Structure 1
Amino acid sequence: MRKKLSIVDIANALNVSKTTISFILNGHAQDKRISAEVIEKVMKYVAEVGYKPSSLAKSLRTGKSNTIGLMVEDISNPFFASIARLIEDRAYKNGYKIIYCSTDNDTNKTRDLISMFRDRHVDGYIMAPPEGIEEDIESLKNDGMPVVLFDRHLPKVKTDYVEIDNLFSAYNATRHLAEQGFVNIAFVTFLSPQTQMVDRVKGYHEAIKNSKLNGIVEEVVFSQDDELIMQALRDFLKKHTSVDAILFGNNHIATCGLKVMREFGLKLPGDIAVASFDDHDVFKLHTPPVTAIAQPVEDIADNVITVLLAKLNGGSSAAKPQSIILKTDLKIRDSSKKSS
């Protein structure tokens, strides 16, 4: 394998001091009154050998790597993927690159990933955090690292976050199902202590109470294996045959639920009505199209990167943390409309 050239190698080849080479490559040649002849000789040689400076070494010198660590639950999830793409575009236009990773909602994995980002000297962090990393985020903040959370927040950590009004969104969708005449409305979601899921359950319960109905909440243990999720949903539908409508807590569990309903031969909305958090192309293409709570993906991404860039540029490093709550849009489609 060909050895990667260093500044020392260039200095030896040209019989020029490594300090002079460093000044030239870092754009300080004129400040140091280095002759045009030496500058030309160095730049010509660098172009010939294809030398590229170490980004890690540069970050150690400048204190900046111009990279941002983006940590989400699952980068393959369409919701997170869409937000990540928008953040990447905006960051790139402002001179930053994004490093993505998936935490799988695993606390230990998240800690390992934070450690990896520290080693890479990223300039800031964007996270959809799992529980249990409060101390890790506090440590980042104490070291002057800006951290912006989104999708959910950690109540014990004072940092910027961007999320939707989860409570009202669940309330609104549940009320819609009740107003359509459905009386046995279930809320089916993943078992989670995260703030966004807690608020969705609260919103559902408030709507059920105000509609004078009896609520049914099913919290399924998350698994990377969709078959395990689907089996839990099969068991739920077999046990609760009177359920005539379901609000799903996110699009992942909803797509698993739609597969199970097809297995069971259930017709939407005649046998059972469906609505879900997190709109998705699958819901629009499904027959019938599925009612969904559409999160303002572009607004979420824009607010997240705007807050982080402000911190990185030093304009608001000492400012009080912002709590940005955005509205959602209930996309009413045929899956939740009561048959006449």
Structure 2
Amino acid sequence: MKKKLSIKDVAEQLNVSKTTVSFVLNGKAEENGISKAVQKKVLKHIEKVGYRPNRMAQGLRTGKSKTIGMLIEDISDAFFSSIARKFEEIFGQKGYRIIYGSTGNDTQVTKDLIQVFRNHQVDGFIIAPSPGIEKDIEELLQDHIPVVIFDRPTEDMDINCVLVDNFMGTCKAMQHLADNKYTNTAMITLTSEQSQMKERERGYRSCMANTGVEPSIMKVKYHEQKEKAITDIEQFLKNNPKIDSVFFTTNYLAEAGLEAITNLGLTIPGQLGIVVFDDANLFRLFKPPITAVSQPIERICDQAVLLLFEQMEGKEATGPKVIQLPTTLHVRNSTIRQE
């Protein structure tokens, strides 16, 4: 069996010190005065010989594992997969790796994953929280483990949090429909107690109240079988023929809804105007392209990383921050009626 290379072997092969190799591997070369030429030489050599640092050993020496634990609702969802990819990119540039898990918004699964990541000695957590995990997060903070929450807040917790303005994002979408002469908009959403879903519903109800038209809301169970969701949406639209537009509160509900609309032979935007909260490639490629509210993924990730590193480096001067970012409405042909 081939002997596993050590950092000492690499240093001897390059005729540099172990400390130099360590600084390069840990992203600390610049601050310790190591030249670009030496950094390039070390990185090129470790790639050539296939050296892989023992992160657990590094963690024991430095007190840092150089890993971040990330908990998201569903890695297969377009929004969360884009978020995860961007976090990987940002943390990778800083010499960190991410380990992540999908919670399915299940309390026990989330609790179990937190413990698993604690056992891996992650340096911090980024969490899209499931309900009922406030105590677990509080325990992390009490143990001085940095935590940043995103996508939805936790109940009654003073914690670093990055959110988007779901209420105003919905109001922008509803106003756009009104400007294009849609007067009877239905909302298709989840049966959910998640705060971001409540804010989207609040925005919808607020806008409908201003029109004097009775709200028309259909709620789909979280993780409902797609075939059943499609059938139920078809029936909802058949039962409500006065509806002239639909606001979908998630991208996966819109996917099911578009299939239901196609099955019914309804035209977009002629018979139904369509807006979805959470943009995805599918909506740009659909015929006609679908108007969508997009969340600022890069800014969410940048702000969350900044807040996490402030904690990790002990730079929190004013206590936890709640950052709320605006959304963007991408107007496409699904809401532009032909004159």
Q: Do the structures match in fold with TM over 0.5?
A: yes
Note if contact 2:160-2:321 (Cα within 8 Å) is conserved in structure 1: yes
1:328 matched to which residue of 2?
A: 327
Quote the sequence identity (%). Answer: 39
Give 1:1-340 correspondences, 5 Å limit. Answer: 54-223=54-223, 225-316=225-316, 319-340=318-339
State the secondary structure of the residue aligned to 1:154.
Answer: coil
Note if contact 1:182-1:338 (Cα within 8 Å) is conserved in structure 2: no
Q: 1:216 to 1:115 in 2, by over 3 A?
A: same
Note if contact 2:134-2:155 (Cα within 8 Å) is conserved in structure 1: no
- Superposed CA deviations along residues 54-77 of structure 1, whole A, max 9, x for unmatched, are 533442443210100111111121
Note if contact 2:140-2:146 (Cα within 8 Å) is conserved in structure 1: yes
Counterpart residue type for residue 322 of structure 2: S
Bigger radius of gyration: 1
Note if contact 1:67-1:96 (Cα within 8 Å) is conserved in structure 2: yes
Note if contact 1:223-1:229 (Cα within 8 Å) is conserved in structure 2: no
Note if contact 1:295-1:328 (Cα within 8 Å) is conserved in structure 2: yes
- Superposed CA deviations along residues 176-230 of structure 1, whole A, max 9, x for unmatched, are 1122222221111111111111111111111111122221121210116322322
Distance 2:87 2:223 in 1: 27
Note if contact 1:69-1:125 (Cα within 8 Å) is conserved in structure 2: yes
Q: What are the ranges of 5 or more consecutive residues in structure 2 without an aligned counterpart?
A: 9-17, 24-48
Distance 1:235 1:133 in 2: 37
Note if contact 2:55-2:66 (Cα within 8 Å) is conserved in structure 1: no
Aligned-pair CA distance for 1:80: 1.2
- TM-score after normalising by structure 2: 0.83
Count of residues paired in the alignment: 304
- Superposed CA deviations along residues 122-142 of structure 1, whole A, max 9, x for unmatched, are 010011111111111111111
Q: 1:6 to 1:133 in 2, by over 3 A?
A: farther
Note if contact 1:165-1:325 (Cα within 8 Å) is conserved in structure 2: yes
- TM-score after normalising by structure 1: 0.83
Q: Which moved more, 1:114-123 or 1:68-77?
A: 68-77
Aligned-pair CA distance for 1:312: 1.3
Q: Which moved more, 1:55-64 or 1:107-116?
A: 55-64
Q: What are the ranges of 5 or more consecutive residues in structure 1 without an aligned counterpart?
A: 11-21, 28-48
Distance 1:256 1:91 in 2: 34
Counterpart residue type for residue 251 of structure 1: N
1:41 matched to which residue of 2?
A: none
State the secondary structure of the residue aligned to 2:144.
Answer: coil
Shift >4 Å, 4+ stretches: 2-7, 49-54
- Superposed CA deviations along residues 134-161 of structure 1, whole A, max 9, x for unmatched, are 1111111111111111111113222111
Note if contact 1:175-1:211 (Cα within 8 Å) is conserved in structure 2: no
Aligned-pair CA distance for 1:248: 0.4
Distance 1:254 1:267 in 2: 15
